[in-house]
Structure 1
Amino acid sequence: MSGQKDFSQSRSLPSPQRRNWVWFSLQMLLRFFFVEWLGYRARGHEKLPREGGALLLINHQSHLDPLLVGLPLRRPISYVARHNLFPVPIVGWILRRTYVMPINQNQPGASVIREAVRRLEHGFLVGIFPEGSRTNDGKVAELKPGFAMLLRRAHVPVYPVGVAGAFEVFPRGSCVIKPGRVRVVFGDPFEPPELQDLCQRGREPELLRLVRGRIIQCQREAEQWRRRSR
């Protein structure tokens, strides 16, 4: 099936405004399932720019998170995924055609940072899970410091995003997606002067606290919304 380009390795990038047929088809196929089975709702996504690059910093509750965050948007998000997922049949084919960047978690290096910056400068939305892996208990874990390098180089708006309920419906180690209530909240962008100041070397602990606090704020708002909907 070679009709759709492999964007994970391509040096020429597609339009960051248009969803290709793979992305669009996934959205259409999953919309009914997520809304009916998971009671899916999202808010705040109107805050994102209609064009131009932006970085989304998202808490990581389950394998569903990239789909849940991208579902309400009319433009694609370029995510990072473990490189060992790309050889998996069907999964790898989808990842390579939905703007996903492979990363070796044992040797992350600077190459994925360069590629993420390239896509942001091209005008893509880029989604990062700064916890590094899915939560074990539903709470936002301590953040890995590697994303600070991306913040230093990416001169684009940065948004916190909170996902709630995905851990309950599809926790780590589960093979079955249970019915439930899932909510996603897109927060206000970080103030550029504050981020630039904290991105200075030696201030990483303050930066991690700020970013984690804003993600937790969005996640709590999403959780409260989810509980009110029961």
Structure 2
Amino acid sequence: MYQPIARFARLLLRGFGKFEIVGADKLPKEGGYVITCTHRGWMDVVALGCSLLPTEVHFMAKKELFQKKIADKFLRDINAFPVDRENPGPSTLKVPIQLLKQGKTIGIFPSGTRSSEDVPLKRGAVTIASMAKMPIVPAAYIGPKGLKDLLKGTKTMIVIGEPILTVSEGPSQGKKDLNELADRLAGAMNKLEAELEQLPQNRKKLNA
């Protein structure tokens, strides 16, 4: 169900407002990777899923969203899988790492609606990418917060940053320090978000 739903959602984003993706050429051309995007509501999840088509994103989502049978089926149909954020266990890492090694793309939203989620989710994202030896790609969203904003014609934009390698270059190929990676990820995401918020002043810069 992922492809038809994502394509329909993309048509809605383009039809009611404008939908633009900046930096798509920076995405890895092959292999799995983690993409992290700023998060303020459900619209940014939809926008990120649409922006990577035909690539399908496997989203990490809090287990509470899967409690109802109908919601559980729908979320799994669109490639979401549950994680326990309060008590993370081995499966929290096992599922996304397996998907990455299969060449899949994992979507994580570190900048949660609650500020307390921000730091551990960023560290979780770099931990998963590092253990799978896959790159992590920062992204940022600006646009409608809900259907009301979308119907008003609010523009939707996703900007994608340069991939961050999670293993050291060189003969040793040792894992980089997770704190360093988390700091780099946070800095990259903050920079992308700041640039988006300064539009249209930085529009030319974003297209460079």
Question: Is the counterpart of residue 31 in structure 1 residue 10 in structure 2?
Answer: yes
State the secondary structure of the residue aligned to 2:137: strand
Residue 221 of structure 1 deviates from its aligned partner by 2.7
Q: Counting helix residues as a fraction of each chain, which structure ranks higher?
A: 2
Runs of 5+ unmatched residues, structure 1: 1-21, 171-175
Verify the 8 A CA contact 1:38 1:181 in the aligned structure 2: yes
Verify the 8 A CA contact 1:53 1:156 in the aligned structure 2: yes
Which residue matches 1:81? 61
Distance in 2 separating the partners of 1:63 and 1:90: 18
Question: Is the counterpart of residue 213 in structure 1 residue 187 in structure 2?
Answer: yes
Which residue matches 1:152? 130
State the secondary structure of the residue aligned to 1:49: coil
Residue 227 of structure 1 deviates from its aligned partner by 7.0
| TM-score, length basis structure 2 | 0.79
- Percent identity of equivalent pairs: 23
Distance in 1 separating the partners of 2:17 and 2:202: 15
Residue 117 of structure 1 deviates from its aligned partner by 0.4
Verify the 8 A CA contact 2:138 2:185 in the aligned structure 1: yes
- Give the alignment partner of residue 176 of structure 2, picking from 197, 218, 221: 197
Distance in 1 separating the partners of 2:30 and 2:102: 10
- Higher mean Cα deviation, 220-229 or 83-92? 220-229
Which residue matches 1:13? none
Residue 92 of structure 1 deviates from its aligned partner by 2.4
Residue 46 of structure 1 deviates from its aligned partner by 2.6
Distance in 2 separating the partners of 1:119 and 1:159: 16
Amino acid at match of 1:158: I
Verify the 8 A CA contact 1:165 1:226 in the aligned structure 2: no
Alpha carbon RMSD of aligned pairs, Å? Answer: 2.5
Question: Is the counterpart of residue 143 in structure 1 residue 119 in structure 2?
Answer: yes
Distance in 1 separating the partners of 2:160 and 2:10: 18
Question: Is the counterpart of residue 224 in structure 1 residue 192 in structure 2?
Answer: no
Could you report, residue by residue, the CA deviation over 1:102-126 in whole angstroms, capped at 9, with x for unpaired residues?
1122222221211110000000011
Verify the 8 A CA contact 2:97 2:129 in the aligned structure 1: no
Instruction: Give runs of aligned pairs for residues 50-199 of structure 1, distance below 5 A.
Output: 50-72=29-51, 73-88=53-68, 90-131=70-111, 133-134=112-113, 142-144=118-120, 145-166=123-144, 169-170=145-146, 176-178=147-149, 179=152, 180-191=154-165, 192-193=167-168, 196-199=175-178
State the secondary structure of the residue aligned to 2:89: coil
Verify the 8 A CA contact 2:137 2:162 in the aligned structure 1: yes
Distance in 2 separating the partners of 1:218 and 1:31: 22
Amino acid at match of 1:187: G
Per the alignment, do residues 177 and 104 of structure 1 end up closer, same or farther by CA in structure 2, a change over 3 Å counting? Answer: farther
| TM-score, length basis structure 1 | 0.72
Which residue matches 1:4? none
Instruction: Give runs of aligned pairs for residues 32-51 of structure 1, distance below 5 A.
Output: 32-51=11-30
Amino acid at match of 2:176: D
Could you report, residue by residue, the CA deviation over 1:96-145 in whole angstroms, capped at 9, with x for unpaired residues?
112211112222222121111000000001111123x2267xxxx84223
Q: Alignment length, in residue pairs? A: 191
Per the alignment, do residues 158 and 147 of structure 1 end up closer, same or farther by CA in structure 2, a change over 3 Å counting? Answer: closer
Verify the 8 A CA contact 1:81 1:102 in the aligned structure 2: yes
